[in-house]
């Protein structure tokens, strides 16, 4: 849209694009900076907070967060207070939808897209969906939900560098009375939460606009959750076996960690294989419904065998070398 604005002298559209781009960047900075500065506290402040927490523990009625929730909170704070982690993990989930929405908004204000055009699109889409049989809609709903969720997951390295981003702190975790699988579980859950956020928003918006059938909505929701779970479990495997724990700065853990290429390209291959099968198989309903069975099965096998049964031994050896 920026190129079109310059070439055709659409000053209004060009100016709006600049304003929206700056506005998005400003919103991201405003969102992340308070959390970053909150995390980057001094030693004296840390000691004060620690002493207060000890007093609260003595209270019989004090509520103690579950271990998994505490681990998630700790990891999220670490991500948000480290700019490089926040940019690499969160920006892909924000920028990709923004790149699609901002040009549409710019076209709307510049007159390229009118309200009547939008209403006509929604009306035609609703008519097409009403003419289609439920068995025809379900395969495409599952395919689109799977593709969007899987693609957004592979663009972020939040799970594939989940262990590496801890660095030498993993030896500290090893000394705590905390099972290593609990730490891995927390990191998998963070990956799932981030992966489902944007697809869920898209599903809600599409459901409201086109008044989707409840069966379609439920199957799409199940597909999103199962896909995010499989992607997070699959991505973390390589980092469990071969984590990069010795690094001088965060850039080495993320940008210079070539092991993240393995789950990324593997995920792209799996996505391509499924789309190819969907196109080639005559019974598309059966192929997509089988995906809902295959995804949790693969997630369970990868989690129980590759991570829990064999992966922990490799991770322990890697931590011992720190």
User: Which position has the token pair 């980092």?
Assistant: 239
| Distance of alpha carbon 222 from alpha carbon 217, whole angstroms | 9
Residues 243-263 have pLDDT tens digits of 999 888 888 888 778 888 888
pLDDT for 19 equals 66
What is d(CA 129, CA 137) in angstroms, rounded to the nearest whole number? 7
pLDDT band at 2 (very low <50, low <70, confident <90, very high): very low
Mean of pLDDT values over 26-42: 52
Give, in degrees to the nearest 5, the angle at Cα 28 between 71 and 267. Answer: 60
pLDDT at 23: 63
Q: What is the mean pLDDT of residues 6-28?
A: 56
Question: Could you tell me if residue 34 is inside a domain?
Answer: no
- Report which secondary-structure segment, H or E, holds 24: helix 11-39
Domain with 275 in it:
132-320
- Let me know if residue 198 belongs to a domain: yes
Report the range out of 19-33, 53-67, 70-84 with the highest average pLDDT: 70-84
Flag whether pLDDT at 184 surpasses 90.
Answer: yes
Residues 6+ apart with CB under 8 A from 121: none
Predicted local distance difference test score (pLDDT) of residue 321? 86
Give the pair of three-digit tokens for residue 75: 């990891």
78-100 average pLDDT score? 78
Instruction: Report pLDDT digits (tens) over 133-145.
Output: 888 899 999 999 9
E strands in 212-295: none
Most confident range, picked from 85-94, 203-212, 225-234: 225-234
- pLDDT for position 3: 47
> In total, how many domains does the chain have?
1
pLDDT computed for residue 39 by the predictor:
46
Q: Per the confidence metrics, is the pTM higher than 0.85?
A: no
Helix (H, G, I), strand (E, B) or coil at 158: coil
How many angstroms separate the Cα of 246 from the Cα of each of 157, 161, 206, 237?
Answer: 18, 13, 45, 19
Question: What's the average model confidence in pLDDT over 214-235?
Answer: 95
Q: Is residue 111 part of a domain?
A: no
Of 214 and 49, which is predicted with more confidence? 214
Tokens of 237: 């495997």
In this predicted structure, the answer to whether residue 44 has a pLDDT above a threshold of 50 is no
The pLDDT value recorded for residue 50 is 43
Beta carbons within 8 Å of 251's beta carbon, 6+ residues apart: 84
Q: Quick one: how far is CA 146 from the chain centroid?
A: 13
Inside any domain, residue 67 = no
Q: Does a structural domain hold residue 240?
A: yes
Q: What is the pLDDT of residue 46?
A: 38
Residue 322's pLDDT band (cuts 50, 70, 90): confident
pLDDT band at 188 (very low <50, low <70, confident <90, very high): very high
Q: Is residue 268 part of a domain?
A: yes
Residue range 259-299, pLDDT digits in tens: 888 888 888 898 888 888 888 887 888 888 899 999 999 99
Q: Is position 228 within any domain?
A: yes
| Helix-strand-coil split of the chain, %, nearest 5 | 85, 0, 15
- Count of beta carbons in the 10 Å neighbourhood of residue 247: 16
Query: What pLDDT is stored for residue 281 in this prediction?
Result: 82
CB 154 within 8 A of CB 231: yes
Report CA 280 to chain centroid distance, whole Å: 29
DSSP 308: I
The Cα 33–Cα 65 span in angstroms is 26
Query: Looking at the domain assignment, is residue 123 inside a domain?
Result: no
């Amino acid at each position: 849209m920026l190129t079109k604005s310059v070439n055709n002298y659409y000053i209004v559209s060009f100016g709006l694009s600049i304003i929206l781009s700056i506005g998005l960047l400003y919103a991201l900075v405003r969102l992340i900076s308070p959390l970053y500065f909150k995390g980057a506290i001094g030693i004296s402040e840390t000691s004060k907070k620690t002493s207060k927490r000890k007093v609260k523990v003595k209270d019989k009625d004090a509520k103690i967060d579950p271990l998994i929730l505490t681990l998630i909170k700790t990891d999220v704070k670490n991500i948000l207070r480290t700019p490089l982690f926040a940019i690499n993990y969160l920006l892909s989930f924000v920028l990709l939808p923004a790149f699609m929405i901002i040009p549409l908004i710019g076209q709307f204000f510049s007159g390229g897209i009118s309200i009547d055009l939008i209403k006509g699109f929604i009306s035609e889409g609703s008519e097409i969906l009403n003419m289609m049989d439920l068995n025809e809609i379900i395969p495409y709903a599952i395919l689109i939900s799977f593709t969007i969720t899987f693609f957004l997951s592979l663009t972020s390295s939040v799970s594939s560098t989940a262990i590496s981003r801890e660095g030498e702190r993993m030896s500290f975790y090893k000394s705590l009375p905390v099972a290593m699988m609990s730490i891995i579980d927390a990191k998998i859950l963070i990956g799932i939460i981030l992966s489902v956020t944007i697809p869920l928003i898209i599903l809600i918006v599409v459901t409201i606009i086109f008044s989707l059938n409840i069966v379609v909505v439920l199957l799409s929701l199940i597909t999103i959750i199962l896909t995010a779970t499989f992607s997070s479990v699959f991505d973390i495997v390589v980092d469990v076996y071969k984590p990069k724990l010795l690094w001088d700065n965060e850039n080495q853990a993320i940008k210079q960690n070539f092991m993240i290429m393995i789950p990324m390209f593997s995920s792209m291959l799996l996505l391509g294989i499924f789309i190819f099968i969907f196109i080639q198989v005559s019974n598309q309903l059966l192929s997509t419904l089988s995906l809902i069975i295959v995804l949790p099965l693969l997630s369970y096998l990868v989690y129980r065998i590759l991570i829990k049964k064999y992966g922990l031994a490799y991770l322990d050896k890697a931590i011992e070398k720190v």
